[in-house]
Amino acid sequence: MSVFYFVAFLSIFFALMTIFTKNPVHSVLYLVITFFTFTVHYILLNAQFLAVVNFIVYMGAIMVLFLFVLMLLNLNKDTEPLKSNLVKFMGVIAGMCLLVTLAASFRLLQISDPVVLKNPDIGLVSNLGKVLFSDFLLPFEISSILLLTAMVGAVLLAKNDPKKV
Amino acid sequence: MSAIITLSLLAILVLYLGLFKARRALLPVSLLGLVATVVLYGVQWGKTAEPLYSGMVLFDHFAVVFSVVCVILTILVLLLSKDYFDKSSPHVAEYYALLLFSLTGAVLVVSFHNLAMLFIGIEIMSVALYILAGIRKKDFASNEAALKYFLMGAYSTGFLLFGIALLYGASGSFDLAAIKEYVVSNPQGISPLFYAGILLLIVSLAFKLGAAPFHFWTPDVYDGSPILITIFMATVVKTAAIAGFLRLFYFCFIPLQDFWVPVLLVMTIITLFVGNLTAIVQQSVKRMLAYSSISHAGYLLFAIVAIGATSANSVLFYVTAYSLSTIIGFGSLILVKRATGSEHFEAFNGLAKKNPYLSLAIAIAMLSLAGIPLTAGFVGKFMMFSGVLADYQVLLVVLAVINAAMGIFYYFRVIVAMYFKPLDRDAIVVSGPYRVVFFLAALITLLLGVYPAWLTGLI
């Protein structure tokens, strides 16, 4: 339990650091650490597949890509868009409303027995695979259309138009 | 199910046709495939529907009717696409394929029976559109539209996922039947997580529908995208979004009406006023139609505010009427823009003298959007209002009537420009497919206005 609280504290801390740092590169690095703490959470929950995927795909691939893009963009103070105080104010109010709603609904929850899972191995790769290929076969297959769409779109947007002959 | 397989295979076939440079075959093949899909759905009609693939999809009458509407609207959009894409870019096959993929997503959204399918359907539909909004790579507005739609859409997907996760946390299942079972069997002990989940789902679905206060992307995206893509977004995507919205709430959340109806009621009123008040001050017809589509999203939400057995029928009727008129409105805008290079109201000046039939079709469309009797739009509004009145929401109807009056004002600006502002201009050439589409859409609008019973008894 104490491990959980420690890791939870770290995730919240680094998530806040992501928002509050001025430097975008630092911000991304903090986000990487936040994702790493999520990975630890998944391991604590015995969801090994999620942990590995989160580690490799999110932390490894996507965030590093993100970092490269940010460095290539060369952001600095001058290019930062100015937001009026009104917009900031509205943003704070809207965000706080969401926070209050969620916090209130979580607060009303009764705490169930936290450690007892019906099947503690539910997050293991073999169980996940069984569910994916039996109950969730259709969404699993249809995801291929989603990926194909994204692929076609990426190529379409990135490709140079050939000169008209 | 065979219809979904047909659609996906059709899109892949179109991609291959593009690979082998068979450009002339693209449009006929796509249309043929879509017609085949409609036929496959027709065969399914009347059979008792059961959830397929461990409860993932359910092709009941609701799903079949809305899918057929989506497919037919896509057929009309594709007919308008003849000669439209050829000028801008050589990748026509990819555009058709993306439209078909997006349609596949829309069909999944209207026939889901499991929240996982809802999510994947919405994603397929949107991802294809993010790209289609930005296919004019040299056009700054198109880039802006694509980026804005993508960022906001990705954000709203987060809300959708979080909402689904909370529903799962409370009820222990993604399956609609199981969630309904959970709601019905614990009238007192519904977890607070469930309520938060409903709110988050409302946020994300209202975003896809373009209802206020989640409408901020709509005008810029509709304005910046190529007009043909705007037609697709304003008709097929809106149909799918409202149908998915209704399906989820009608299936699962009716016992919790007291909780979410006030939320939707406020959103509906805001949507109506935002859409109509901003549409009045627009100078560009494209932007006017974009804002009017927001206000129509508000009218569509009426059916969910007064949710009941008749909601599906009124949504079906309203969305059909609205989509047909929108196709005429934006379709004629393609022609006018091609001829004059402008999207402003002035570009329509004096159109009636030179193109009497085109002007008549536009006039019918505008009258239908405004809800004048003898058009489908009137019957649609009538069904929506009477559904809400049966629920004793008198205030909402009064506000809606005020808004309908505002709507008449800006729709009539187009008609006034065409008929009463004489201007010497050349006649616009209306090519064959455009004639067919305008004729069909106007004819159906009038027929449904006179014989509404053809559509109302379907679901």
HSE, side-chain direction, 13 A CA sphere, residue A62 = 11
Summarised one tens digit per residue, pLDDT across range B409-425 is 999 988 998 888 877 77
CA distance, residue A6 to nearest chain B CA (Å) = 24
Averaged over B323-328, what is the pLDDT? 93
The whole-angstrom separation of Cα A30 and Cα B362 is 56
Residues, chain B, total? 459
Residue B231 vs residue A110, higher pLDDT:
B231
CA distance, residue A3 to nearest chain B CA (Å) = 23
The shortest CB-CB distance from B131 to any of A106, A157, A162 is to A157
Q: Which letter does DSSP use for residue B22 in this model?
A: -
> Which chain A residues are within 8 Å of B15, Cβ to Cβ?
152
The answer to whether the Cβ–Cβ distance between B117 and A137 falls below 8 Å is: no
The whole-angstrom separation of Cα B445 and Cα B459 is 20
Averaged over B45-63, what is the pLDDT? 84
> Which chain B residues are within 8 Å of A140, Cβ to Cβ?
none
Averaged over B335-359, what is the pLDDT? 87
The number of beta carbons lying within 10 Å of the beta carbon of residue B409 is 12
Best CA proximity match to B193, nearest among A107, A116, A86: A107
Averaged over B196-214, what is the pLDDT? 90
Query: What 3-state DSSP class applies to B195?
Result: helix
- pLDDT at position A148 over 90: yes
Q: How confident is the model at residue A110 (pLDDT cuts 50, 70, 90)?
A: low
The whole-angstrom separation of Cα B106 and Cα B244 is 9
Cβ B41 vs Cβ B60: under 8 Å: no
Residue A3 vs residue A108, higher pLDDT:
A3
Q: How confident is the model at residue B114 (pLDDT cuts 50, 70, 90)?
A: very high
The shortest CB-CB distance from B124 to any of A105, A106, A149 is to A149
| B interface residues, A as partner, C-beta within 8 Å | 8, 12, 15, 52-54, 56-57, 89-91, 94, 97-98, 101-102, 104-105, 108, 114, 116-117, 120, 123-124, 127-128, 130-131, 134-135, 137, 166, 191-193, 195-196, 199
Query: What 3-state DSSP class applies to A86?
Result: helix
Q: Minimal Cα distance from A94: which residue of B? A: B213
CA distance, residue B315 to nearest chain A CA (Å) = 27
CA distance, residue A77 to nearest chain B CA (Å) = 22
The answer to whether the Cβ–Cβ distance between A142 and B124 falls below 8 Å is: yes
Summarised one tens digit per residue, pLDDT across range A5-49 is 999 999 999 999 988 888 888 888 898 889 899 999 988 888 888
Averaged over B322-334, what is the pLDDT? 92
- How would you class A44 by CB atoms within 10 Å of its CB: exposed for 0-12, middle for 13-18, buried for 19 or more? middle
> Which chain A residues are within 8 Å of B149, Cβ to Cβ?
none
> Which chain B residues are within 8 Å of A142, Cβ to Cβ?
108, 117, 120, 124
Pseudo-torsion of CA B9, B13, B15, B21, nearest 10°? 180
What pLDDT shows up at residue B307?
87
Cβ B334 vs Cβ B80: under 8 Å: yes
Averaged over B232-245, what is the pLDDT? 93
Residues 6+ apart with CB under 8 A from B167: B115, B179, B193, B194, B197, B198, B201
Q: How confident is the model at residue B103 (pLDDT cuts 50, 70, 90)?
A: very high
The whole-angstrom separation of Cα B70 and Cα B64 is 10
- pLDDT at position B229 over 50: yes
Three-point CA angle B75, B127, B221, nearest 5°: 80
The whole-angstrom separation of Cα B190 and Cα A57 is 36
User: What's the domain range around B23?
Assistant: 2-456
Cβ A125 vs Cβ A48: under 8 Å: yes
Summarised one tens digit per residue, pLDDT across range B141-199 is 888 999 999 999 999 999 999 999 999 988 888 999 999 999 998 877 788 888 889 99
The whole-angstrom separation of Cα B157 and Cα B159 is 5
What pLDDT shows up at residue B458?
76
Summarised one tens digit per residue, pLDDT across range B55-98 is 888 888 889 999 999 999 999 999 998 877 766 567 888 899 99
Query: What 3-state DSSP class applies to B175?
Result: strand
Cis peptide before B255 (omega within 30 of 0): no
CA distance, residue A2 to nearest chain B CA (Å) = 24
What pLDDT shows up at residue A15?
92
Averaged over B22-40, what is the pLDDT? 88
CA distance, residue B26 to nearest chain A CA (Å) = 17
Cβ B244 vs Cβ B205: under 8 Å: yes
The shortest CB-CB distance from B104 to any of A138, A145, A152 is to A145
The shortest CB-CB distance from B94 to any of A106, A146, A152 is to A152
What pLDDT shows up at residue B134?
87
**Partner residues linked to B284 by β-bridges:** B344
ipTM over 0.85? The verdict is yes
Q: How confident is the model at residue B105 (pLDDT cuts 50, 70, 90)?
A: very high
Averaged over B90-114, what is the pLDDT? 91
Best CA proximity match to B262, nearest among B301, B300, B293: B301
User: Over the Cα atoms of chain A, what is R_g?
Assistant: 21
What pLDDT shows up at residue A165?
46
Least confident of A115-119, B20-24, B430-434: A115-119
The CATH code for residues A1-80 is: 1.20.120.1200
What pLDDT shows up at residue B320?
93
Summarised one tens digit per residue, pLDDT across range A59-102 is 888 888 888 888 787 666 566 666 778 888 888 898 898 888 88
Best CA proximity match to A145, nearest among B234, B4, B245: B4
The whole-angstrom separation of Cα A105 and Cα B247 is 25
What pLDDT shows up at residue B54?
84
- pLDDT at position A129 over 90: no
pTM of the model as a whole: 0.90
User: Over the Cα atoms of chain B, what is R_g?
Assistant: 21
Q: Minimal Cα distance from B137: which residue of A? A: A157
**Partner residues linked to B381 by β-bridges:** none
Least confident of A15-19, A105-109, A144-148: A105-109
What pLDDT shows up at residue A64?
81
The shortest CB-CB distance from A146 to any of B90, B120, B196 is to B120
Residues 6+ apart with CB under 8 A from A115: none
Summarised one tens digit per residue, pLDDT across range B360-392 is 999 999 999 998 888 899 999 999 988 888 877
What is the residue whose two structure tokens read 């019918």? B364
Query: What 3-state DSSP class applies to B51?
Result: coil
Q: What is the tally of structural domains in chain B? A: 1
Phi-psi group of B226: left, alpha or beta (phi > 0 → left; psi -120 to 50 → alpha; rest → beta): beta
User: For residue B47, what are its two tokens?
Assistant: 């059979």
Mean pLDDT of chain B: 89
Cβ B227 vs Cβ B337: under 8 Å: yes
Amino acid at A7: V
> Which chain A residues are within 8 Å of B8, Cβ to Cβ?
145
Q: Minimal Cα distance from A164: which residue of B? A: B90
Least confident of B117-121, B133-137, B266-270: B133-137
Summarised one tens digit per residue, pLDDT across range B245-285 is 999 999 888 888 888 999 999 999 999 999 999 999 988 99
What pLDDT shows up at residue A163?
57
Q: Is the dihedral of CA B390, B395, B396, B400 positive or negative?
A: positive
Cβ B132 vs Cβ B225: under 8 Å: yes
Work out how many CB contacts closer than 8 A connect A with B.
Answer: 81
Cβ B95 vs Cβ B452: under 8 Å: no
- pLDDT at position B393 over 60: yes
